[in-house]
C-alpha cells in the first residue's frame, strides 16, 4: 500500500481523545499535512477545543464518543463515512493515567477502568473502524503506547499493564489484518509535557504519597532533559500515518526510531 511520503493530502484520519494535549498536537499536525480529520472526544463540551483553529483547509468532522461506548463510536464512524466517505487511518490516542500506588492497594474499580479505557477503548475503536477499512482493502491503525508498556513502571501498574496489553494486541491484530492490506502499530511518543507527563505540576500537592513519588520522578526526567518535544514526538507518528512504516506492521515503534533504516533492514522498502 503505497502512499505519498511528502504529505497526507486526501487521507481521512480519525483521532480519539482529540481534546487533550497530545491529541490536539496530532490533530494540528495531521491537518497541516493535508488530511481530513475526524476528531472524537469523551463529551460534547470538549469538541470545540478539539477543533479550534482547524476551520480552514481539509474538512474536520467532530463527534462526542467515549471510547468505552460502542454505540457512540459506531455513530462517529457512521458520521465520518457520510461526510468523508470513510476512514483511512485510526489513531488510538484516548487514555487515562490510572491510579498511583502499589497494585494491591489501588482501588480495584480505578485499576480496571484504566484497562477498560486504554486497552478496551483502543479495541472498541478498532471494532468501529476496521470493517470499513477491510471493505476498502486498505488502512492503518496506530495506537499510542508508552515505554511503561515495554518495560516496568512500578506504582502506575494499571497504566503500565494496559500499555503492555496494547502492544500485544497490536502484534496480534497486525497478523490478522495482513490479508486485508491493513497495517497496525503501537507507538511510544516519549515522555511529554502533556497528559501523564504533565501530572507532576497538576498533582504536586496530592494527598496520595505514591502520586507525589511518581510526580517527583517525572520532575527528575524533565530536569535531566529526558522529556520529548511534542513536535519530535509527532514527527515519527506522521511517518506511520503516511505509510512509510507499513513493512514494519505489528511493531512497537518510538519517537527515537529511524523508520527508514528499520524498513530498509526488512528488505521490503
Are the beta carbons of 28 and 37 closer than 8 angstroms?
no
Longest dimension (CA), the chain: 53
d(CA 213, CA 144): 24
CB contact burial 155-182 (16+ within 10 A = b; e otherwise): bbbbbbbbbbbbbebbeebbeebeeeeb
d(CA 74, CA 102): 36
Select which of 155, 159, 187, 252 is catalytic: 159
How far apart, in Å, do the first and last CA atoms of the chain sit?
11
* Catalytic annotation present for 159: yes
Catalytic positions, written as ranges = 159
Amino acid at each position: 500500500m503505497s502512499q505519498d511520503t511528502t504529505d497526507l493530502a486526501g487521507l481521512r484520519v480519525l483521532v480519539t481523545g482529540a481534546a487533550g494535549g497530545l491529541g490536539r498536537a496530532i490533530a494540528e499536525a495531521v491537518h497541516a499535512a493535508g488530511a481530513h480529520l475526524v476528531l472524537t472526544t469523551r463529551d460534547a463540551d470538549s469538541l470545540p477545543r478539539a477543533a479550534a483553529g482547524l476551520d480552514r483547509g481539509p474538512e474536520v468532522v467532530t463527534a462526542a464518543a467515549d471510547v468505552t461506548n460502542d454505540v457512540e463510536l459506531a455513530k462517529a464512524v457512521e458520521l465520518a463515512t457520510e461526510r468523508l466517505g470513510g476512514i483511512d487511518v485510526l489513531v488510538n490516542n484516548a487514555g487515562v493515567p490510572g491510579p498511583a500506588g502499589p497494585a494491591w492497594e489501588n482501588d480495584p474499580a480505578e485499576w480496571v477502568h484504566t484497562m477498560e479505557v486504554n486497552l478496551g477503548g483502543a479495541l472498541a475503536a478498532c471494532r468501529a473502524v476496521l470493517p470499513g477499512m477491510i471493505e476498502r482493502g486498505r488502512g492503518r491503525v496506530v495506537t499510542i503506547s508508552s515505554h511503561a508498556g515495554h518495560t516496568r513502571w512500578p506504582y502506575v501498574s494499571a497504566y503500565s499493564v494496559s500499555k503492555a496489553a496494547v502492544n500485544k494486541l497490536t502484534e496480534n491484530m497486525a497478523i490478522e489484518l495482513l490479508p486485508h492490506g491493513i497495517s497496525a502499530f503501537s507507538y511510544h511518543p516519549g515522555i511529554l509535557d502533556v497528559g501523564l507527563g504533565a501530572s507532576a505540576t497538576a498533582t504536586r500537592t496530592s494527598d496520595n504519597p505514591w502520586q507525589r513519588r511518581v510526580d517527583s520522578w517525572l520532575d527528575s526526567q524533565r530536569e535531566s532533559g529526558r522529556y520529548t518535544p511534542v513536535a519530535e514526538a509527532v514527527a515519527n507518528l506522521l511517518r506511520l500515518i503516511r505509510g512509510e512504516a507499513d513493512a514494519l506492521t505489528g511493531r512497537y515503534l518510538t519517537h527515537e526510531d529511524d523508520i527508514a533504516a528499520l524498513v530498509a533492514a526488512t528488505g521490503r522498502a
